[in-house]
């Protein structure tokens, strides 16, 4: 990605100076989010309650120390702000073309743990989108994880991750998220399959953004598309599940296969149109 001299989004909330403080005994960090995710997926969270309880309750309090960024962190921060601005430009344009108005999401930078409207979350869970407060949550240490743990190095891999979360925001604005949630409530048997379709659509939307950023603003460098595809292949929201449960349960995966993920990202990129991201009508997926 070519970030020099580009606009940086002002929709960034820096909460890295906050730290968790124990306030009593209740749900664990992550436990709340885990239960929220389960119920969003249409899975009854009650059997998992034991997993999530018996840990201290935590509140986020500001510390007196301002965030001191080293050069590497400052670079990642800047890159995040530029990518977010690029997604704003793309989605403002696409929404406008359909006579709609795009409400730009806020991106929250955090370290360690964060209190979102969807519950408390740990950095280890990876980036996520909370539909209730319309914010994207990113711990920049995840960028290092991408490289070291998931074998997806490169600045564009980071761009892809942000664009995917912004894709969930687009689904929220378009009402797709609510429709899917209602369907999942009515028919828990297909809840997981619908979640996969949601994830793949967010990948496709990330591809739509990448295409527009490249074509309209020459944002991509050679090799960036491959980096994005590698990231799409390497990570999934199953990471969340693994972190919460300590293991992966294959039949409750909520993401697509690696092949599906990179294919839908590619489909968004090749077509450049969200109309080609109908993962709900696609059969086979």
Nearer to Zn ion, 3 or 35 (CB): 35
Which residues, numbered 226-285, are part of the site for Zn ion (CB under 5 A)?
237
**Shortest gap between Cβ of 195 and Zn ion (angstroms)?**
9
Q: Which range in 59-67, 150-158, 192-200, 221-229 contacts Zn ion by CB under 5 A?
A: 192-200
What count of Cα atoms within 13 Å lies in the side-chain half-sphere of residue 232? 32
What count of Cα atoms within 13 Å lies in the side-chain half-sphere of residue 85? 16
Bridge partners, residue 107, by sequence: 12, 136
- Tokens, residue 222: 């050679």
Nearer to Zn ion, 3 or 255 (CB): 255
Nearer to Zn ion, 3 or 150 (CB): 150
Q: Which range in 23-31, 144-152, 194-202, 259-267 contacts Zn ion by CB under 5 A?
A: 194-202
**Shortest gap between Cβ of 126 and Zn ion (angstroms)?**
9
Angle at 170 between CA 37 and CA 285, to 5 degrees: 70
| Number of residues in contact with Zn ion under rule CB under 5 A | 3
Residue 228: partners with Cβ closer than 8 Å, 6 or more residues away: 156, 157, 159, 160, 206, 207, 210, 265, 269
Residues 266 and 256: their CA atoms lie apart, in Å, by: 14
Nearer to Zn ion, 88 or 199 (CB): 199
Name which of 130, 131, 134, 114 is nearest 122 in CA terms: 114
**Shortest gap between Cβ of 237 and Zn ion (angstroms)?**
5
**Shortest gap between Cβ of 50 and Zn ion (angstroms)?**
27
Which residues, numbered 195-234, are part of the site for Zn ion (CB under 5 A)?
199, 202
Q: Which residues bind Zn ion (CB under 5 A)?
A: 199, 202, 237
């Amino acid at each position: 990605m070519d970030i020099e001299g580009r606009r940086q989004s002002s929709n960034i909330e820096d909460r890295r100076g906050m730290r968790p403080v124990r306030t009593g005994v209740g749900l664990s960090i992550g436990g709340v989010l885990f239960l929220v995710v389960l119920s969003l997926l249409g899975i009854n969270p009650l059997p998992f309650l034991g997993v999530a309880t018996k840990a201290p309750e935590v509140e986020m309090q500001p510390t007196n120390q301002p965030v001191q960024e080293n050069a590497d962190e400052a670079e990642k921060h800047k890159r995040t702000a530029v990518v977010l601005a690029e997604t704003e430009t793309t989605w403002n344009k696409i929404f406008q073309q359909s006579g709609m108005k795009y409400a730009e999401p806020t991106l929250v930078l955090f370290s360690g743990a964060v209190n979102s409207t969807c519950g408390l979350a740990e950095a280890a869970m990876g980036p996520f989108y909370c539909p209730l407060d319309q914010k994207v949550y990113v711990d920049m240490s995840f960028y290092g994880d991408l490289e070291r743990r998931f074998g997806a190095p490169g600045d564009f891999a980071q761009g892809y991750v942000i664009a995917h979360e912004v894709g969930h925001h687009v689904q929220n604005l378009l009402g797709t998220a609510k429709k899917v949630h209602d369907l999942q409530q009515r028919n828990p048997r297909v809840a997981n399959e619908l979640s996969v379709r949601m994830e793949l659509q967010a990948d496709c939307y990330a591809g739509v953004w990448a295409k527009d950023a490249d074509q309209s603003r020459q944002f991509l460098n050679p090799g960036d598309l491959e980096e994005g595809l590698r990231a799409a292949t390497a990570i999934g929201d199953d990471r969340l599940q693994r972190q919460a449960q300590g293991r992966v349960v294959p039949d409750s995966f909520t993401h697509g296969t690696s092949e599906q993920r990179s294919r839908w990202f590619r489909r968004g990129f090749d077509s450049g149109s969200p109309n080609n991201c109908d993962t709900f009508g696609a059969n086979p997926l």
